Amino acid sequence: MKFRMGKIVLLVLIIAAASFSPKKANAEVKEYNLEIDYKTVNYTGKEKRAMSVNNSIPGPTLYFKEGDIARIYVKNNMDMNTSVHWHGVLVPNRADGVSYLTTPPIKPGMTYTYEFPIKQHGTYWYHSHTGLQEQLGVYGSIVIEPLEQRVDIQEPDIDHVIVLSDWTDQNPNEVLRDLKRGSEYQSYRKGSTQTLLGVIKNKAIIENLKRSLRRMPPMDISDVAYDSFLINGEPMSTLKVEPGKTVRLRIINAGASTYFYLNYAGGDMKIISADGVDVEPIDVDRLLIAIAETYDVLLNVPEEGAYEFRATAQDGSGHASLFIGEGEQVLAQDIPKPNLYKMDHSHHMNKDPGMEMDRSDSDRKTHDMKGMTHGNMGNDSMEMSMSETMKMVENPRPLPPYNKLRSLESTELPPENKTREVVLNLTGDMERYIWTINGKTLSEDDKILIRKGENVRFVLVNKTMMHHPMHLHGHFFRVLNDQGEYSPLKHTVDVPPLGSAVIEFEANEEKDWFFHCHVLYHMLSGMSRIVSYEGSVIDPDIKEIRPKLYRDPLYYWADVTILSQMTDGIAVISNTRNIISARWEAGWEDEEYEIELTYNRYINRFITVFGGADITNEEQKTRGIFGIRYLLPLLIDSTVWIDTDADLRIILDKEIRLTSRLSAFGELQYDTESKWEWKAGGAILINKWLSLVGQYYSEFGGGGGIQIRL
């Protein structure tokens, strides 16, 4: 009897082992061939070179069933390296597709084979994790069918994938250079420049004054002026569906830096899944989808008409449309454009009854996470009271509906595990376009060390005025919300401006995984980390190329002003912390000149220290200088230096944008040798490269001319 029982136990163990093997005998190997290449597109009336997958933008949808084996051959037909990351899909570390971190880049002409078991179901996507290729078109969708269909929802008549994206005719590398130089050109192009005239028109003088006193820059929601927004590669398209049918939309936000508001002319949308994980159904009339998130929603098609499903850019700069049904078009309700003057860095606060309200609790401690839900603010990051903020809000702008998302089953982590808590402050400098975590970029502080078998909790505190969609590779995490034990599982979470989110996950993997902001330009400007399991060994071929992950590229620019009485300007070569600059001014009539050559070390958005030389033709004098640049209240730039002759110089300068094209500027300077000097003037923006300038300078007199931006 004991022998028979032993055989039965052994048989059960063998069957169980076989059923959990990723390469079990009945698993289907599903193969795809993907080719990444250049493609000419025309979304705006201008032909531009993009990138594509299988000559398509977006690339083809990859269909799998839970339990399959995915085998995907990716060929690179371009003349540069590329990569593919399977966003939200739980894959072996080597298959994650982050160049120099987990996977070697795919070199020109080469093919890389990704193979991994499909351990989940839901809606996911794939995209390049190399440079700005995602912005240029290297992305596509993934649909994984479950082993068993849900019984708590009606089976839809139509199952349709929609991929949202943003497109710019500009070279994305040039866009990033614009942002790095502090140019307001992107804001000007999309009409979001804050001006003195706008402040007066919107009766926002007090709010603007408070913001300036706190040394906060003007509010904006997004960084890039896009030329088009797309659904499945088109600004507008139609899905023909018979009246009375139910449609399941699998919505993927593949935008490089755009959040979208979603609404439907045919009625409410029923959310049934978030980031590929099923949730209890909830009805919403408007949905804010963060970059890199996915939602599955059910829609009903009313009688007689094609009803618009609209994706509106969060900054109100445009939208894309999918008309669902047949017949005359029925338009969705317009989403009100944000009033940046009234939002004042707290635009996620509003009175929309459909939103999840942010809360501030003066007694809440950072370590008391059970009472903290998405969007709560700590007092250290909130610089004005709730009542002040609420008065400033004009247009209702809902956040993602995280507090309403409820998992179908408990998501609590193993209580026997130890908990590691990590506080991550999301920080940055909009003017120099440096985005950091705890004040440091990836190249300066790369790793968050964790240990296998523990529960890990990240407290994400956003100290900036921008949204940050934070994505963790290789794991799903709980987003702590009002649902407690049933808090939803996600792979990407929005952390709103001056808000916070708390996520937690079981450390059940190995090696290194990327954690980063999914605003593509923020990630490339430093807002990322490596979640590293203690004791991990880096594969030899990855270890050899790992330093390339930390590259901190140099950017260069120059502003040259040529006036009738003089010339002045600045030329800069810079990376994150190091700035080499040359400033000059020279008069035509008396041929006096002064050239300031400095090395500058950026500390943070308030402080930069520098040293160098000041060269003049007055007595052919060259002096060594050392000083500090400091941002004062009212956003006044100040410079103080002392030179090797023991002379002290103090400079205060300020620019005020009067209208979207017209700005005024002034500078006051005191030098213990030459005493007081001052200048004042104005500029009219002509285009990205040119402005008309008029200026009076106490040293050289008045005149006019042009400023050229290189």
Indicate which CATH number applies to the domain containing 679.
Answer: 2.40.230.10
- List, for residues 380-439, the tens digit of each pLDDT value: 333 333 333 333 333 356 789 999 999 999 999 999 999 999 999 999 999 999 999 999
Cβ pair 34, 54 in contact under 8 A: yes
State the pLDDT at residue 378: 34
The answer to whether position 221 is within a domain reads no
The residue out of 146, 169, 193 marking a domain boundary is 146
In-domain check, residue 91:
yes
| H or E stretch at 343 | helix 340-343
Q: Is residue 459 part of a domain?
A: no
Q: What is the pLDDT of residues 215-226, one digit of tens each?
A: 988 878 899 999
Interior/surface letters 495-526, b for 16+ CB within 10 angstroms, e for the rest: bbbbbbbbbbbbbebebbbbbbbbbbbbbbbb
Has residue 411 been placed in a domain?
A: no
Residue 42 in any domain: the answer is: yes
In a domain, 46, yes or no: yes
Counting Cα atoms < 13 Å in the Cβ hemisphere of 614 gives 19
Count of structural domains within the chain:
2
**CA 116 to CA 101: how far, in whole Å?**
18
Exposure b/e, 456-480, CB count within 10 A at least 16 = b? bbbbbbbbbbbbbbbbbbbbbbbbb
Question: Measuring CA to CA, how many Å separate 547 from each of 256, 539, 571?
Answer: 25, 14, 29
Final residue in a domain of this structure, among 85, 118, 146: 146
- Residues 254 and 518: their CA atoms lie apart, in Å, by 10
pLDDT in tens, 661-708: 999 999 999 999 889 999 999 999 999 999 999 999 999 999 999 999
User: C-alpha 548: how far from its chain's center?
Assistant: 22
pLDDT in tens, 65-102: 999 999 999 999 999 999 999 999 999 999 999 999 99
Residue (of 84, 454, 95, 146) closest to 277 by Cα position? 146
Q: Specify the DSSP element, H or E, that contains 33.
A: strand 29-41
Q: Which amino acid is at 144?
A: I
What's the distance, Cα to Cα, between the start and end of the chain in Å? 88
Summarised one tens digit per residue, pLDDT across range 174-232 is 999 999 999 889 999 998 999 999 999 999 999 899 989 999 888 788 999 999 999 99
Q: Where in the sequence is the domain holding 605, given as residue range(s)?
A: 555-709
- The answer to whether residue 599 is domain-embedded is yes
Residue 517 pLDDT greater than 50, yes or no: yes
Any long-range contacts for 545-549 (C-beta under 8 Å, 24+ apart)?
545/100, 545/104, 545/105, 546/100, 546/101, 547/100, 548/99, 548/100, 549/99, 549/100, 549/101, 549/442
Is 541 a member of any domain?
Answer: no
CATH (domain of 77): 2.60.40.420
Euclidean distance between CA atoms 446 and 146, whole angstroms: 37
Q: Which residue among 146, 177, 195 closes a domain?
A: 146
Strand partners, 179: none
